[in-house]
Amino acid sequence: MKLFPRPIKLSLRAKITLLIESLVVILVVVTGTITTMREKDTLESELRKRGLALAADLAKFTARPLISQDLTSLRRFIKHSMTQDYVRYVFVLDPDGKVVMHSDLVEVGKTYKDSVNIAAVNSEEPGCTHISKQGEVYCDMFTPIQVSDIRLGTVRLGYSHMAIEKEIANARKQIFIIGLVTTIIGGVVAYILASLISSPIKRITDATEKVADGDLNTRLTIKRNDEIGVLANSFNKMTEDLRRTTISKDYFDNIIGSMNDTLVVVDPDARIRSVNKATCKLLGYKEDELIGRDISLIVPQEETVFGGTGFKRLFGEATIINQEVDYVTKTGKPIPMLFSAAMLENKAGGIQGTVGIARDITQRKQAEEALRQSERELHFLSYQLLTAQEKERRRLSRELHDELGQALMVLKLKVRSIQRALGTGQVSLDGECDEVIGYINEVTENVRRLSRDLSPAILEDLGLSAAIRWLVEASTKHYNIESSLDMAEMDDLFSYEGQITVYRIVQECLTNIAKHGQATHVSIVIRKEDGRVLFRVEDDGKGFDVKEAFDQDPAKKGLGLAAMYERTRILGGSLDIWSQKGTGTRITFTVPLDDRRNQE
């Protein structure tokens, strides 16, 4: 069962009054407690001094009677000491702890063996201890009786604590009366002070409620030079600014509401502050389902996309432009978005959050995927075309070598037979036969060269290194060009198909140099480095503009450079062409050794 069925509602004035009054009460209680403790300590110290002084005087006066065994004088001194206020007992002990004289004659002749008495008899200095007898607390004082360093006995007397308790009780009454008066005065002062503070605040509160209800013409007429006056002036300025900006805010709200792109405002703690209609429509949420939720609700991969601390990283980078992210709808469907964001700062430069705008790029992604698929199909088609071209070259090479070569050999033999059948008088025909045989030999050599160009048999017989070495020597000799070759052995690095592809790239480089470069020297470097094979073909020809060559109409430019790029791609490598008019051309392509495509 609750003590208060309803919450107690206190006004600001009551709260301030209670607070000040509580502080006054606490101050009074603490001050009274400290004063009482100090008063008690002072009284106990005074009592101890008085008792020790009385014991010292008694020890001084009882020395002679003890020596002379004058019990009557001892009795008189003890009775005189008992007349002092709050002295409850006085007695004199001999050095063995036996009672020589006591305020209570019944105790005379007894020997006390309690710890207090033993300590008093053995003590060389005056002392004091607290004991309790019959429910009353005593301050027991003892002083040795000495004459010329000779111990005659000990004086003990007991003071009652009632004196201290009475004085403490009187002090507490005085402190209570003073505290009560102080509390009442403090309450009155607290109420007056609370009224001075709460009255203008109540006026400010009433004015704030009016503004909240839409009355933007409300003004405060509080003229003070303290914080309340500053607050009133700030309120008036705020209402004036609010009145001026309300129309502008509605205008911008309409613009944001009509945006086709999504807009999300995020707090510095990565929680969604506001969204526009386009965001709710795209993701299938209601606005109140998103407000206050973490941004990971709609961008679950935020830490992967933005790195490190996720979306909060934006607060250290100011802007993000065209970052591709996936928004997730209420049903869990991902939607590709092109995201841009910027920090939201106040006039002082403090970070208030981040504004993010994103556009649905689903159709663009579909078009890109279709383009990539088309590109894959084109690459596959080009690979098939190059493969078919290579097969056709082998077929033509075999036909040239086998059929045309054999036909030329038969023709040569026939001419030789005819030449031998000529008579001695047919000198002119014999000379013509020699010319025909020479021409047949020239045609046969051209056929062999064409056959080797189409499908080099040396590649199958001796390997890639020997084939490239022969290709360089034959090409430079045929076109009358000087050459230098620096080549590492690479026969075991590529499959046969890979060797043919590399051979064709080098062959295309040399053919272009011979046909278009007008070079006098060509340098070929082939070496292995960092898990790849590097090929570099460089000449000192006339050069050309690379960009202009690639920007030509496809119908006008040849297929040589495109074929080189495609063959390099098939090998999984990269090709770079550098050229400058009047300087020469350098073609560099690299093939990775760990790429399995050149082994297929």
The answer to which of 150-154, 193-197, 474-478, 583-587 has the lowest mean pLDDT is: 193-197
Residues 501 and 570 in one domain: yes
User: Measuring CA to CA, how many Å separate 380 from each of 330, 386, 387?
Assistant: 40, 10, 10
Q: Which is higher by pLDDT, 333 or 165?
A: 333
Which two three-digit tokens encode residue 441?
């030999």
Residue 194 lies in a domain: no
Residues 158 and 281 in one domain: no
Write the pLDDT tens digit of every residue in 92-122: 988 888 888 888 888 888 888 888 888 888 8
Model confidence at 268: pLDDT above 60: yes
Residues 443 and 522 in one domain: no
Residue 375 lies in a domain: yes
Residue 210 lies in a domain: no
Model confidence at 248: pLDDT above 70: no
Residue 301 banded pLDDT, cuts 50, 70, 90? low
Residues 95 and 116 in one domain: yes
Residue 394 lies in a domain: yes
User: What is residue 1's predicted lDDT score, i.e. its pLDDT?
Assistant: 44
Residues 531 and 567 in one domain: yes
Residue 191 lies in a domain: no
User: What is residue 71's predicted lDDT score, i.e. its pLDDT?
Assistant: 84
Angle separating helix axes 560-570 and 496-512, nearest 10 degrees: 150
Residues 400 and 531 in one domain: no
Q: Mean pLDDT over residues 274-279, rounded?
A: 87
Among candidate residues 397, 427, 455, the one where a domain is terminated: 455
Model confidence at 316: pLDDT above 60: no
Residues 441 and 514 in one domain: no
User: Measuring CA to CA, how many Å separate 277 from each of 119, 288, 439?
Assistant: 95, 12, 87
Q: Mean pLDDT over residues 332-358, rounded?
A: 80
pTM across the whole model? 0.40
User: What is residue 198's predicted lDDT score, i.e. its pLDDT?
Assistant: 72
Residues 381 and 523 in one domain: no
Query: How crowded is residue 581: how many other Cβ atoms within 10 Å of its Cβ?
Result: 11
Backbone angles phi, psi at 291, to 5 degrees: -65, 130
The answer to which of 135-139, 228-232, 310-314, 559-563 has the lowest mean pLDDT is: 310-314
CATH of the domain at 525: 3.30.565.10
Number of structural domains (the chain) is: 4
Residues 306 and 404 in one domain: no
3-state SS, residue 183: helix
Residues 482 and 380 in one domain: no
484 contact partners, CB below 8 Å, separation of at least 6: 521, 522, 523, 524
Residues 320 and 369 in one domain: no
Residue 596 banded pLDDT, cuts 50, 70, 90? very low
CATH of the domain at 293: 3.30.450.20
Among candidate residues 315, 337, 360, the one where a domain is terminated: 360
Answer for the pair 108, 101: CB distance below 8 angstroms, yes or no: yes
Residue 304 lies in a domain: yes
Model confidence at 231: pLDDT above 70: yes
Residues 355 and 368 in one domain: no
* Mean predicted lDDT score pLDDT of the chain: 78
3-state SS, residue 595: coil
Residue 344 lies in a domain: yes
Among candidate residues 311, 333, 360, the one where a domain is terminated: 360
- Per-residue burial over 116-138, b if 16 or more Cβ lie within 10 Å, else e, is ebeebbeeeebbbeeeeeeeeeb
User: What is residue 393's predicted lDDT score, i.e. its pLDDT?
Assistant: 65
Residue 503 banded pLDDT, cuts 50, 70, 90? confident
Range of the domain at 160: 14-168
Write the pLDDT tens digit of every residue in 36-62: 888 778 877 887 888 888 888 888 888
Which two three-digit tokens encode residue 396?
């033509």
Write the pLDDT tens digit of every residue in 55-92: 888 888 888 888 888 888 888 888 888 888 778 889 99
Write the pLDDT tens digit of every residue in 131-182: 877 777 888 888 998 888 788 888 988 888 777 777 777 877 888 888 888 8
Residue 1 lies in a domain: no
